[in-house]
Amino acid sequence: MVQRSTLLAVSATQLAAQLAGHVVALRRRRHCDVPFLVGSPDHLVRDWLWFGTAFSAPPYLLGPQVWATARLLRGPDDRARWVLRWPGTGLTFGYLSERCTRLRVSPGGFDPVETPVVVAGWGCAVAMAVLARR
């Protein structure tokens, strides 16, 4: 079983990347743009509440992650580990489906601010999904 401290560090880093992604998306007006839904740069905050931004998930997906991370801080918790696996898996596919994210990790799409946020968030989401497995 993976040490609790490793999963905690990955989850905390992923949450920090979400926060940074949210700030960057608001400042640069990067709205949600996935194959089945396109947000509006004029309604970023409203769209974030339901669909997220280009670089951050909506609050109803981050809430369980915060809860599970806090539970793991107190000690080993199988339920918290189980909860962290689902946002990790969902965010992994969420980052993959986001058009701006794919652009930032493609050759020639490097941006000194956005690319590190995307790589940290996506990488930690994958790690969280894998590490939270039993």
State if pTM tops 0.85: yes
Nearest residue to 47 (alpha-carbon basis) of 59, 35, 36:
59
Residue 119 to residues 7, 60, 68: CA-CA distances in angstroms?
18, 22, 23
Q: Where are the beta strands (DSSP E) in the chain?
A: 33-34, 37-38
Res 25 pLDDT > 80 = yes
**Per-residue pLDDT tens for 26-55?**
999 999 999 888 998 888 888 999 999 999
Counting the structural domains of the chain, the total is 1
Question: What's the confidence (pLDDT) of residue 3?
Answer: 86
What is the average pLDDT across 9-20? 97
Distance, in Å, from the CA atom of 89 to the CA atom of 57, rounded to the nearest integer, reads: 13
Res 1 pLDDT > 80 = no
H/E stretch holding 29 reads none
Contact 91, 57 (CB under 8 A): yes
Nearest residue to 18 (alpha-carbon basis) of 68, 61, 54, 56:
56
**Per-residue pLDDT tens for 116-131?**
999 999 999 999 999 9
Domain that holds residue 63: 4-131
